[in-house]
Amino acid sequence: MSFKDVKSVETWRKELDQDCDGKRGSFRILPRELFNSKAFAALGGAATIVVLAILNKLQYEKSGKKDRKGVKSGIPVLRNNGEFCLTINELVARGLSRSTATRARKLAWELGFFDVVESGTVHHAGRYRYSERWRCHPDGDYHPVGQVPPGRNVYPDSGFKKVEDEGQVSDRGRIVIFPVP
């Protein structure tokens, strides 16, 4: 996705409204094991919306297909190895603020609901893969290892202010993306 192809919040809202027409199917799978898990309970409101958006992005193979290729997740088989894109603009169209969407997406990643294939940038949507590391929460190894975090929100209204303090860039203890020249 290039800069010209970046979808605005309004475009995402129109696509979500069109998706309500039921042409893609009326139901999405929410596995009972996931819904009743400790990791799902630890999410909180905004991160729950992120996980539900992830589950909405997953594509499943049809049950009658002979040669099923993909990731086996419980009963259904996922297409594209369970890969999907989830942008901040889409989450804003779902009712979250930009900073809340960024924090919620990171929490869902930390709790093991998806893995980062390619971290996103301002002009390029990140690629992610559905993960079942959440099954090990809180007693197992559910933390992401060797992955870069999902793309950060670097839009002007994200709440991150750039402050230079003796050559170091800080924002009241938070990491700031770009140093001020």
Tens-place pLDDT, residues 33-89: 989 999 999 998 899 999 999 988 888 777 665 555 655 555 567 778 889 998 888
CA 57 – CA 51 distance, rounded (Å): 10
pTM for the full model?
0.70
Nearest-angstrom CA–CA distance, 80 and 91: 22
- How far lies 75's CA from each of 8, 15, 29, 32, 136, in Å? 35, 29, 11, 12, 19
Token pair of 15 as six digits: 């696509």
Asked whether the CA dihedral 162, 167, 168, 172 is positive or negative, the reply is negative
Q: What is the pLDDT of residue 120?
A: 75
Q: Average pLDDT, stretch 113-134?
A: 85
